[in-house]
């Protein structure tokens, strides 16, 4: 196999709790990921020149060293002495720097695709370890999970036991908000950090140095949300949507609050920002409602999507 075509899906964060700042400059967090059916298409073809050539239908997407697919290919070439190159064609549908994980998803897709066309024979754990070096969200996209819990930097992944498919109305304003900007402006409460009181089997046990009360709340909230997902309790799910970055996002970009208010007026079941924004989404009761809301909102906003869980 010297060529492969793959889907590269976006994600939403139904829950995001920032625990504390880490010594490495990143932040410990707890998040609930949902993989959605808004996808880029990526075609990769091996070449014998060693060159990494990327083209896209989106002129705003970098195609050189700043592109995460480029960085993945360079990393694999260096780590495994790969003499082959790759030609990459990206059909971009996921908005850039929107909080939807498009770049991380592309990086994960590149890891999966290059592993095959370059015959590297790496297992999923090896790929995830490489993915962490590219971006915190990359490991989530490597696993074939529609629902997952992410802890530490969001890079430690545990599958959530839910088959629930949710419909959403998603609005992405035409501004870019980068995670470094948001996390850099995040104001965490001062005070000593205490050791977490978690059980040995808890997926949150890896978050060392976290305040016990914050960690306990995150664990409890995630458990309640997981039960609501299993029970298909849409109203309960909507009431539990939460993002600790939201206040900072709105402080940096005040006009984004208007989108959230508009979705609430239109009776979306719970409204929240995804990741570090600026994408705003609300739950819909059905595909029909999601598409009806899309028709209304498309009159005002250029990037509106009716999306569902993959």
Q: Is 87 a catalytic residue?
A: no
Rounded CA separation 10/236 (Å):
24
**DSSP states along 86-109:** EEEEEE--SPTTSSS-HHHHHHHH
Contact yes or no for 137/154 (Cβ under 8 A): yes
Q: Could you identify the residue written with the tokens 């530490």?
A: 152
**Residues in the chain, how many?**
310
213 closest CA partner among 199, 200, 230, 194: 194
Phi, psi at residue 81, to the nearest 5°? 50, 50
Question: Cβ distance 167 to 233 under 8 Å?
Answer: no
165 is catalytic: no
User: How far are the Cα atoms of 25, 56, 185, 186, 254 from residue 251, in angstroms, in the given order?
Assistant: 22, 33, 9, 10, 6
Query: Could you identify the residue written with the tokens 């920002």?
Result: 273
Annotated catalytic residue: which of 17, 40, 92, 137? Answer: 137
C-alpha gyration radius of the chain: 19
d(CA 232, CA 254): 33
Q: Report the catalytic residues.
A: 11, 137
């Amino acid at each position: 196999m010297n060529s492969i075509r793959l889907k590269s899906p976006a994600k939403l964060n139904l829950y995001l709790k920032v625990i504390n700042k880490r010594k490495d400059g990143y932040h410990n967090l707890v998040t609930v990921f949902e993989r959605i059916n808004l996808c880029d298409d990526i075609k990769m073809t091996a070449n014998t020149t060693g060159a990494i050539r990327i083209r896209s239908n989106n002129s705003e997407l970098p195609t050189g060293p700043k592109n995460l697919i480029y960085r993945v290919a360079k990393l694999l070439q260096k780590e495994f002495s790969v003499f082959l190159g790759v030609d990459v064609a990206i059909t971009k549908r996921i908005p850039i720097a929107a909080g939807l994980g498009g770049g991380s998803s592309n990086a994960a897709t590149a890891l999966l695709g290059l592993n095959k066309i370059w015959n590297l024979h790496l297992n999923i754990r090896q790929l995830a370890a490489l993915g962490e070096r590219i971006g915190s969200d990359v490991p989530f996209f490597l696993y074939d999970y529609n629902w997952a819990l992410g802890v530490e930097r969001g890079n430690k992944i545990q599958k959530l036991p839910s088959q629930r498919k949710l419909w959403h109305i998603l609005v992405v304003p035409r501004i870019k908000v980068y995670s470094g900007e948001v996390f850099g402006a995040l104001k965490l409460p001062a005070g000593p950090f205490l050791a977490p009181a978690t059980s040995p089997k808890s997926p949150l046990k890896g978050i060392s140095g976290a305040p016990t009360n914050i960690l306990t709340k995150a664990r409890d909230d995630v458990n309640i949300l997981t039960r609501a997902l299993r029970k298909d309790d849409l109203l309960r799910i909507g009431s539990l949507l939460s993002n600790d970055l939201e206040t900072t996002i709105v402080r940096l970009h005040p006009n984004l609050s208007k989108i959230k208010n508009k979705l609430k007026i239109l009776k979306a079941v719970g409204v929240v920002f995804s990741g570090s924004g600026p994408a705003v989404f609300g739950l819909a009761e059905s595909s029909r409602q999601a598409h009806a809301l899309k028709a209304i909102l498309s009159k005002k906003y250029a990037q509106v999507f009716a999306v569902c869980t993959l």
